[in-house]
Chains A and B, each alone.
Chain A
Amino acid sequence: MAADAGAGLIAMSQARVATDASGVQVRHLTRRFGDVTVLQNLDIALAPGSFTALLGRSGSGKTTLLRTLAGLDPAPEAAIVEVPHPTAVVFQEPRLLPWQSVWRNVALGLGGGGTRERAEGALREVGLAHRLDAWPGTLSGGEAQRAALARALVRSPRLLLLDEPFAALDALTRIRMHGLINELWRAHAPTTLLVTHDVDEAVLLADRALVLDGGRIAADVPIDLPRPRRHADPRFAALRARLLGELGVAAPDASAELELHA
């Protein structure tokens, strides 16, 4: 892996096509690593401006799908992968370049003029306007992840891919980040795919949840709760229980609640 860092820099796939449409189309996507089939003839369509949560146990192919959509892994020839351009990713780790100031990280790879102003605007949106010139090494975990979010937002993505971006944060920071993501998604309305293993997070943020299991879509659950959503809402609990069930996790308290309110 380390040897790949310098050598073989870019290997963009040909089956992945950036389109003018805002939605995402995936058809016949199969990915194998050795003998293991991670994605099995997958068909997915994401509506423009929708917020989809992709749930699944570890090893279910969530991240593989996201990486294919991001163009980080090549899509096989037989597949059709159409994604809107530009696409932005927020990874599980902030992945900021430690040797560039926060605003330069946000402006990374931006073309055109006024990059500092644009970066400043994006950082203001995530509440980091006061850390423009800081080194990433001096940011807290939450601040660094907000900077990573600003780096995604600044390119006005039409597809926003979130790869478990809150998994490494503490509970309180995570709650604040949920609120921020919610606001930003409503303000900018990019087509959003959130990979997560946290059912609560999915129900809180997305308007559709896909459960991936054995390389296939095991469940496609619409989440039509009014926003802002509350855990105390009985419909929240019902959806939560249903998704946990799809993931094969027994949730006795949740199902009890479900029966109570049904």
Chain B
Amino acid sequence: MSSTSTELSWRPNGLAGARFAPRARLVALARSMAGARRFASTLVLILAWQSASMAGLISARTLAAPSTILASAWALIVTGDLPYQLIVSLGRVAAGLAIGVTAGGLLAIVSGLSRRGEEIVDAPMQMLRTLPFLALVPLFILWFGIGETPKIGLVGLGSAFPIYLTLFAGIRGVDPKLMEAGRVFGLDRRGLIRNVVLPGALPSALVGLRYALGSAWLSLVVAEQINATAGIGYLINDARDFLRTDVIVVGLLVYALLGLGADALVRLVERRALAWRPTLVRG
């Protein structure tokens, strides 16, 4: 507010400026105030949490103080512990996603492009999809032991289904009129798939990729509860054994940030790959 008033007195005879500039400034100020209010409520919450912790209302065994969490996060970063665990977790997600997206994508292409493929692939996929895949953890442990394989496998399984379902629907949803046009202008089967079917199915498949990423993080969280010796899940489990609620919260925050980051990444890919869509072109 003070900056607005100094601005006014500083420009005594700029009539046009005085008429418009303060209004624009007020709008900007109101907007930043709204942003500040949203931020403020969070800040108040954290401050209340901090004071409650300092007053001894919340014991460190229940939930560490924000200041402690911040300090622990910093310590974990500078010792290289957090970056190391993060890389391990990221590696699991990357490997699982690569397997899941490839498998789901290939199956969707097979069953999307041919009726026989659909008959063979689609029915079992639809049946398996109804299984809550996280319930397969006990079986996975029996099959693959407690090493990296069940963890990566679970992430792969969790991400394969969203890709399969959306890409299959996308392929079947391609405009038959465009297919006809492609045929008339001399595209062979491979040309049709490359120029018409796959680009037409891409928007749907990218939605699937977002679901797949969400599913992959969830799988990671569950998988890392299985006797992990490294990774964010290990960090959390280890902290639980030592009643380090501060480190647990740091781990949770990292999970949250990873989820947000993955979502932003897919949105970036969408912006690039789907630049042709009229909504994005105009916007």
Contact = CB atoms under 8 A, between A and B. Distances in A.
Q: Do A and B come from one complex?
A: yes
Interface of A: 1-10, 70-72, 86-89, 91, 93, 95, 97-100, 108-111, 135-138, 151, 155
B189 A97 contact: no
Contact of A108 (B185, B188, B275, B281): B185
Contacts of B114: 6-7
Nearest to B113: A6
Contacts of A95: 177-178, 180-181
Interface string B248-283: 000000000000000000000000001111100100
Interface stretch (B32-40, B190-198, B221-229): B190-198
Contacts of B174: 5-6
Given A4-B176, A9-B189, A88-B185, A98 B115 contact: no
Contacts of B192: 9
B118 interface: yes
30 contacts: A2-B172, A3-B115, A5-B172, A5-B175, A5-B176, A5-B179, A6-B114, A6-B172, A71-B184, A72-B180, A72-B183, A89-B181, A89-B184, A93-B177, A97-B178, A97-B182, A97-B195, A98-B276, A99-B199, A99-B274, A99-B276, A108-B185, A109-B185, A135-B276, A135-B281, A136-B276, A137-B278, A137-B281, A138-B281, A155-B186
A109 B186 contact: yes
B189 A10 contact: yes
Contact of A109 (B178, B187, B197, B281): B187
B100 interface: no
A98 B189 CA distance: 19
B202 interface: yes
Contacts of B181: 89, 91, 95, 97
Contacts of B202: 99
Pick the most buried of A5, A70, A155: most chain B CB atoms within 10 A of its CB: A5
Contacts of A5: 171-176, 179, 197
B119 to A, nearest CB: 11
Given A6-B174, A91-B177, A95-B178, 16 more contacts: A5-B171, A6-B112, A9-B113, A9-B179, A10-B188, A72-B183, A72-B184, A86-B186, A88-B184, A89-B184, A98-B276, A109-B187, A110-B186, A111-B186, A135-B275, A137-B281
Interface of B: 112-115, 118, 171-189, 191-192, 195-197, 199-200, 202, 274-278, 281
Nearest to B179: A5
Contacts of B171: 5-6
Contacts of A4: 176
Pick the most buried of A7, A93, A137: most chain B CB atoms within 10 A of its CB: A7
A5 B181 CA distance: 12
B36 to A, nearest CB: 39
Nearest to A86: B186
A70 B113 CA distance: 24
A124 B181 CA distance: 22
Contacts of A9: 113, 179, 183, 189, 192
Contact of B182 (A8, A70, A108): A108
Contacts of B191: 109
Given A2-B172, A5-B179, A135-B281, A108 B187 contact: yes
A137 B180 contact: no
A122 B70 CA distance: 64
Nearest to B180: A72
Contacts of A108: 182, 185, 187, 195
A86 B113 CA distance: 28
A95 to B, nearest CB: 4
Contact of A7 (B118, B186, B187, B200): B118
A110 B187 CA distance: 9
A93 to B, nearest CB: 7
A98 B277 contact: yes
Nearest to B277: A137
